[in-house]
Structure 1
Amino acid sequence: MPFTRIAIRADKPAPYRKALAQGIQRALVATFNVPEDDIFMSITEHDEGSFFYGKHYLGIERSDDLVLIQLTVTNSRNEAQKKALYAQIVENLANDPGVRREDVFINLVEVLKENWSFGNGIAQYAT
């Protein structure tokens, strides 16, 4: 059960935000074998005074359309799956809603299966 946080600059229209979520979810389904309805995402929008990033860090030219993506997942995927996920997210978001590849920043946080709870007071392990 991945949990995804997406941070973007403010004032993006609803279809743009929806396309971000859908593109990330499609990548998770394709590369991490996540069920299609296993979707837990939040998008936060930030004004100029609360959105900071290195515009030229590591020689990558980023714009104010930067999309920060943090995925929390179980630590059950190998390196090839992770690389495939990163590539698929970038591809999906480039196609729709048209995010420049340089403006996709992904952070993967891996946790143990026993660190998940589904709100019923009993830990149930995600796949």
Structure 2
Amino acid sequence: MPFVRIDALGAGPDRLDALGRAVQDALVETLGVPPDDRFQVLTGHDGTTGSLRYGDYLGVHRDEGIVFVAITMRSGRTPDRKRAMYRRIAELAEDYAGTEPRNMFVTVTENDSIDWSLGDGLAQYAPAGNGPAGASGAS
């Protein structure tokens, strides 16, 4: 279950929705994420009360169309699948939101099953009593 944060400069609700759809569709296509497994925080920055900073690091020229995408997910995907995901996010962001691929800055942070609670105060992916990941500790 990926958790996605998208921050975009000068983005209103329609562009943010398009970017969110682009990322979700890419996750479904490249990583096999279920279509209804969509948990995203979408934030537009107006340049006055909130802004984004960026540079031309590694020779990629970015501009005011910059979009930062931070994906947190359980570990286990291969480097090739991640490369496919990055490529597909950039393609779909261009198709859906008109965002140039050079302006899509994507990071992935991976963790373990025990690092997720999807509600009700439970570790649904690592319930207590299921070995080391779900073992309950002494109080």
Question: Structure 1 length normalisation: TM-score?
Answer: 0.92
Cα contact 2:74–2:111 (8 A) shared by 1: yes
Q: Does 2:9 align with 1:9? A: yes
Distance 1:16 1:78 in 2: 30
Distance 1:115 1:3 in 2: 12
For residues 11-33 of structure 1, the C-alpha deviation after alignment (integer angstroms, 9 at most, x for no partner) is x2322111101010000001111
Amino acid at match of 1:32: L
Partner of 1:102: 102
Partner of 2:26: 27
Find runs of 4+ consecutive structure 1 residues off by over 6 angstroms: none
1:124 Cα deviation (Å)?
0.8
Distance 1:118 1:18 in 2: 23
Cα contact 2:116–2:125 (8 A) shared by 1: yes
Distance 2:96 2:8 in 1: 15
Amino acid at match of 1:64: E
1:113 Cα deviation (Å)?
1.1
1:48 Cα deviation (Å)?
2.5
Partner of 1:61: 61
1:92 Cα deviation (Å)?
0.5
Q: Greater relative contact order (Cα 8 A, min sep 6): structure 1 or 2?
A: 1
Q: Does 2:41 align with 1:73? A: no
Q: Greater Rg, structure 1 or structure 2?
A: 2
Distance 1:84 1:117 in 2: 28
Partner of 1:82: 82
For residues 42-97 of structure 1, the C-alpha deviation after alignment (integer angstroms, 9 at most, x for no partner) is 1122233531111x211111011100000000002111111110011011011111
Distance 1:25 1:94 in 2: 14
